[in-house]
Structure 1
């Protein structure tokens, strides 16, 4: 019983710290992990599995989930600050998935997969932050508009994703952490019937997620 009280006291204090640090930046991610852990505790109690192990497992889930959310909060904040004045890149967040959107027209010439030299500094800033957080995995996704054949667009999107991946590796992002996916024209963000829409669809997306063993 004494152990149970101690566990609950530690949990209460830890939740307070995690809430102060994270909820303001990303309420959904951190609240979700906390609610999940608490649900585990309550379920154990309701089913009369009132054991210290049940409580401890729920507490571990709360703390681990909160720590992951806090890590992603910090990384998101640094990325937003680093790219605040960038015309070529922007940051999005959904749950614990961070997406850095690299606009294709800023990154590449038409029909080219060579990254413009002036954009290396953008990728360098992103890479430095990624290196700071080794417990994340990176997927570089290539996308095009619908101009040209599907096979050509698929090939172009793959080459552009590889080009960005190679720069990350040159900037000390471990090869084992990073992979590429080519989507061609299959995942547009906007209509392909207008120049403005096609411009939005020509892009590379850098997805940053916590490693599976951290979740």
Structure 2
């Protein structure tokens, strides 16, 4: 009986360890990100978590929307999978002056950084930077392009997508 219990405990331990070793399921992670409106991609700098401003901020404001919690919390879950440094980058469209947009982008980056820190991301890992409309993700010639440019990006410096999102499922 003791041997049976030992073997059962051993098998259970191996099963739990193998489940932990596989890490997150990439397909499930993508679905969770889509539910809250964020995108996660690999860039030359590291892993980028993109949060569209429509998810976080009202037009021309830098205070978080009341319904932004799920997107922020999802970002925190992803960021906690790494210990590497994080840069929170604020971006705007080209409506208004550069000075105004620079201040708005910096304020939004600081707001998001503060929300991450409140939810357990160490402040020693986080820096902020505002880019105004200097690094557009799309053309500012259309309302759709302007909407894509109003965003906050969190970059986990030197991290791999596999570490944050899990490895892709093997397809037959």
Stretches of structure 2 that go unaligned for 5 or more consecutive residues are: 1-22, 160-172
Tell me, in whole angstroms, the C-alpha distance in 1 between the residues paired with 2:24 and 2:156. 9
When Rg is computed on C-alpha atoms for both structures, the one with the higher figure is 1
Cα deviation for residue 121 of structure 1 reads 1.6
Partner of 2:127: 179
Partner of 1:6: none
Report if aligned partners of 1:109, 1:116 keep a CA contact under 8 Å in 2: yes
Q: 1:170 aligns with which of 118, 130, 149?
A: 118
Report if aligned partners of 2:102, 2:132 keep a CA contact under 8 Å in 1: yes
Tell me, in whole angstroms, the C-alpha distance in 1 between the residues paired with 2:123 and 2:145. 33
Farther off after superposition, 148-157 or 89-98: 89-98
More helix by share: 1
Runs of 4+ in structure 1 deviating by more than 6 angstroms, as ranges, are none
Report if aligned partners of 1:108, 1:114 keep a CA contact under 8 Å in 2: yes
TM-score, structure 2 normalization: 0.72
Query: 2:138 matched to 1:190?
Result: yes
Tell me, in whole angstroms, the C-alpha distance in 2 between the residues paired with 1:95 and 1:148. 31
Query: 2:102 matched to 1:102?
Result: no
Report if aligned partners of 1:75, 1:129 keep a CA contact under 8 Å in 2: no
Stretches of structure 1 that go unaligned for 5 or more consecutive residues are: 1-73
Residue 178 and residue 120 in structure 1: after superposition, are their counterparts in 2 closer, same or farther (change >3 A)?
same
Q: How does 1:52-131 map to 2 (within 5 A)?
A: 77=26, 80-86=30-36, 88-94=37-43, 97-131=46-80
Structure with the larger RCO, 1 or 2 (CA within 8 Å, 6+ apart): 2
Report if aligned partners of 2:47, 2:158 keep a CA contact under 8 Å in 1: no
Tell me, in whole angstroms, the C-alpha distance in 2 between the residues paired with 1:76 and 1:168. 23
Q: Secondary structure at the match of 1:111?
A: coil
- Give aligned pairs, total: 137
Q: Secondary structure at the match of 1:206?
A: strand
Partner of 1:69: none
Residue 148 and residue 180 in structure 1: after superposition, are their counterparts in 2 closer, same or farther (change >3 A)?
same
